[in-house]
Amino acid sequence: MDKDFSDNFKIKDKFSIKKTETSYKGKLTKEEGLQIIIEEKEKLRKLQEKLYADGSKSLLVVLQAMDAAGKDSLIEHVFGGVNPQGCSVTSFKTPSSKEYSHDFIWRHYLAVPQKGMIGIFNRSHYESVLVCKVHPEYNLSEKTWDNVKDFDEKFWENRYESIRNFEKHLVNNGTTIIKIFLHVSKDEQKQRLLDRINEQEKNWKFSASDLPERALFDKYMDCYETAINETSKENAPWYVIPADNKWFARLAAIQIIIETLEKMDLKFPQLSDEDRKGLEESKKQLESE
């Protein structure tokens, strides 16, 4: 039975969203999957500690998905066991007037994790080629363009190029990047939105604004497909994870993160001979009290 899914969903060739499953869960039962997640969380905790101690590299996890795909709960269940001092989560909402007065990547660069840290982007710089491509009028808020007619094919090519360059720059300066798209079906999204209405404890999660965006589901899928094909590179790969089963999406995500950290060749700091002598002296001093 395959229990390691860390390489199953990496985009290596031409990506077709219509040919990609949303309900795949391997041959595992939910109970088996949840048990593996518990074991994997301990591995992640130890690796995060090693990353923090190493202090020379950082990890950026980019999460993208449609509404109700499970981004928030994935962050909670995957990263719930790591030391919060070594992990930061940034949720990107509609840009502020100050953020609109800079280029579209500026606010994201400010949130990049420092060395030794894991940074999680809940939505990201990709919103500029997703929601802003579905709603091109949003780009007018940047005050650089006067008309939606300016957002032609060349405009979007430049955006993809900017994203590729941004990510290449981060990688060249010590940040490893994982990009995860939680791929949920339209039917499953409908059920989850209904759950938010029908279950009182979930009412707060529902927003009527989710419905107009749901009506544009197919347009969003086209934008995701293009963005992933344009920007999935070996130095900053995309992983498209089937997300109709939340437990499986969490399992696949944590395994991808663990494998990535393991490949980063992290090391605990080695003490010099002088430092070791200092430790021995401190030990003797404490024991003699």
Q: What is the pLDDT of residue 242?
A: 98
Q: What is the pLDDT of residue 93?
A: 94
Q: Which residues of the chain fall below pLDDT 50? A: none
Consecutive H or E run containing 242: strand 238-242
Q: Which two tokens stand for residue 168?
A: 């290449």
Q: What is the pLDDT of residue 1?
A: 57
The whole-model pTM stands at: 0.94
What's the CA gap between 94 and 106, in Å, rounded?
A: 14
Describe the chain by its helix, strand, coil percentages, rounded to 5.
55, 10, 35
Between helix 71-79 and helix 30-54 the angle, nearest 10°, is: 70
* 8 Å CB contact between 95 and 123: no
In 10 A of CB 13, how many CB atoms? 7
User: Of 141, 150, 133, which Cα lies nearest the Cα of 227?
Assistant: 133
Q: What is the pLDDT of residue 278?
A: 83
Q: Which two tokens stand for residue 277?
A: 């002598």
* 8 Å CB contact between 119 and 88: yes
Computed over every residue of the chain, the mean pLDDT equals: 95
Q: Which two tokens stand for residue 154?
A: 């060349």
